[in-house]
């Protein structure tokens, strides 16, 4: 893990020679959020878990560093396959605080760890800077199990009495909160019912994984999950993580903003259907080439061919909702698309206090974006993009939006400090270059 630390502490910039068309075929990689969720959930199993399709990204590196620091043995078998061997006893006294505070994923260790430790603490989570992000949904749900979470100035203190199955109404339909409650319910014998559950792709991934471990779950893909918890999980298993719909959407957006023709393979269609419907109404020309399943046998995939199109703005606002609405993390990729569309587009990012503010960084590249309030922007489409120098904002998706917009800006742009992008995208410069981009890595 020392090598990962070195990479993390090295400031890397991207030099983008923009104005080039993209072409060819690009494959959607494995899911970032699925990867971190599966790593956290794997410690429910006292046996050896082999996970295929784990993304080699900085976010995953941080989670691995945390797990290793509390006694978990982890070994990469090849580029995207990892084996996890849990300890006889978890030791949180030596938890890697430096890694823990860099990722909000650490909060998802609460669900598994309450089965092994009646009392423990974990550092405050950070991750992207997207305004106030409490763990209230986690706290209220865990109370139903008999677990109290106290937030102090430095950490979360977790104390459990005798765990009991329950009926839970989620305070909000959060993805990580739902994953946390699923892993907690998995090892509480009896039936736990979760109402207003997230049905998003990473939550479904955890459900599929728990079923592989022997936990029966009803209602997968709906807002009501029924978990039939079991007493113990101790088996050697293998599981495949599925592909990332957010990455598929990123390539769709990159293709549109550069006015290109591109084929994107292995796209999780259930989590892109509404996005594609909106784009169809904006006059995007595309076709579905092939339908099949991911390696997990559950997630539906398609290949999508995108054609050069003259886009028009939608009269209605574009906003995210819990699945099956437009994915919260797909919403930012409509910003570069709206820059190309004739007319005015209003994008409403109601979930995060700060993220819409970062969209205005695209004005440095020649966009015409007006911030109405911390959640809404108006985009006047049809303005040509130009090269510029921009520092990555402290958020993954807005940083990526800037990068793909630079692809459409003739001339040489510099994107400074791309750690945020490397948190969520594997070898993204190399992969974009493979379809016609010109991105150089500067160290």
Average pLDDT in the 323-336 region? 96
**CA distance readout (Å), 366 to 301, 374, 385:** 36, 21, 5
pLDDT of residue 2: 41
Question: What does the pLDDT read at residue 130?
Answer: 47
Judge whether 369 and 346 are in contact, CB under 8 Å. no
| The token pair that represents 251 in the structure block | 């390539």
Q: In this model, does residue 337 exceed pLDDT 80?
A: yes
Q: Read off the pLDDT band of 358 (50, 70, 90).
A: very high
Beta carbons of 355 and 344 less than 8 angstroms apart: no
Domains, the chain, with CATH or none: 2-29+243-442 (3.65.10.10), 32-240 (3.65.10.10)
Distance, CA of 50 to CA of 57 (rounded, Å): 18
pLDDT tens readout for residues 279-306: 999 999 999 999 999 999 999 999 999 9
pLDDT band at 1 (very low <50, low <70, confident <90, very high): very low
Considering the entire predicted model, what is its pTM?
0.94
Count helices and strands (H / E) in the chain.
15, 23
Confidence of residue 421 (pLDDT cuts 50, 70, 90): very high
Instruction: Report which of 249, 283, 286 is spatially closest to residue 381, judged by C-alpha positions.
Output: 283
CB of 38 within 8 A of CB of 277?
no
In this structure, the chain runs to a length of 443
Q: Prior bond to 257 cis, omega within 30?
A: no
- Reduce the DSSP state of residue 27 to 3 states and report it: strand
Structure tokens at 145: 């199990």
pLDDT class for 3, splitting at 50, 70, 90?
A: very low
Q: What is the mean pLDDT of residues 230-259?
A: 98
Provide the pLDDT for residue 262: 98
Cα 235 to Cα 358: distance, rounded to the nearest angstrom: 46
User: Is 8's pLDDT higher than 60?
Assistant: no
Q: Are 77 and 145 in contact (CB under 8 A)?
A: no
- φ/ψ of residue 78, rounded to 5: -155, -165
Residues of the chain with pLDDT > 90, as a percent, come to: 91
- Give 31's DSSP letter: -
Q: What is the pLDDT of residue 124?
A: 81
Confidence bin at 126 (pLDDT 50/70/90)? low
The rounded distance, in Å, linking the Cα atoms of 151 and 158 is: 9
């Amino acid at each position: 893990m020392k090598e990962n630390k070195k990479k993390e502490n090295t400031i890397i910039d991207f030099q983008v020679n923009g104005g080039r068309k993209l072409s060819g075929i690009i494959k959607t990689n494995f899911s970032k959020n699925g990867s971190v969720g599966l790593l956290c959930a794997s410690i429910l199993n006292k046996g050896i878990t082999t996970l295929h399709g784990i993304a080699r990204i900085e976010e995953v590196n941080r989670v691995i560093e945390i797990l290793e620091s509390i006694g978990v043995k982890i070994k990469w078998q090849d580029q995207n396959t990892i084996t996890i061997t849990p300890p006889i006893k978890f030791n949180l006294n030596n938890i890697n605080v430096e890694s823990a505070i860099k990722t909000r994923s650490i909060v998802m260790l609460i669900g598994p760890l309450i089965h092994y430790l009646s009392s423990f603490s974990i550092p405050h989570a950070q991750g992207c800077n997207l305004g106030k992000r409490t763990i209230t949904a986690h706290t209220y749900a865990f109370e139903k199990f008999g677990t109290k979470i106290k937030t102090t100035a430095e950490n979360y203190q977790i104390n459990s009495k005798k765990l009991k199955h329950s009926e839970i109404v989620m305070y909000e339909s959060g993805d990580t909160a739902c994953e946390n409650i699923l892993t907690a319910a998995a090892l509480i014998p009896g039936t736990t019912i979760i109402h207003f559950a997230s049905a998003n792709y990473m939550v479904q991934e955890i459900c599929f994984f728990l079923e592989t471990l022997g936990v029966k779950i009803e209602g997968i893909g709906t807002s009501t999950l029924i978990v039939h918890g079991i007493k113990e999980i101790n088996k050697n298993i293998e599981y495949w993580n599925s592909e990332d719909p957010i990455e598929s959407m990123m390539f769709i957006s990159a293709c549109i903003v550069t006015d290109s023709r591109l084929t994107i393979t292995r796209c999780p269609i259930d989590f892109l259907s509404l996005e594609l419907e909106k784009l169809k109404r904006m006059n995007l020309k595309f076709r579905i080439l092939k339908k099949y399943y991911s390696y997990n046998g559950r997630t539906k995939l398609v290949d999508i061919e995108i054609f050069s199109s003259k886009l028009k703005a939608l009269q209605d606002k574009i906003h995210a909702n819990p699945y099956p609405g437009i994915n919260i993390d797909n919403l930012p990729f409509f910003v570069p698309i709206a820059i190309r569309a004739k007319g005015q587009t209003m994008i409403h990012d109601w979930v995060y206090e700060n993220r819409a503010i970062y969209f205005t960084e695209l004005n440095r590249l020649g966009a015409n974006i007006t911030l109405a309030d911390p959640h809404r922007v108006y985009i006047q489409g049809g303005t040509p993009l130009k090269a510029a120098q921009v520092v990555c904002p402290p958020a993954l998706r807005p940083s990526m939006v800037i990068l793909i917009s630079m692809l459409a800006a003739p001339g040489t742009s510099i994107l400074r400090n791309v750690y945020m992008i490397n948190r969520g995208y594997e070898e993204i410069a190399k992969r974009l270059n493979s379809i016609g981009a010109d991105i150089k890595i500067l160290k």
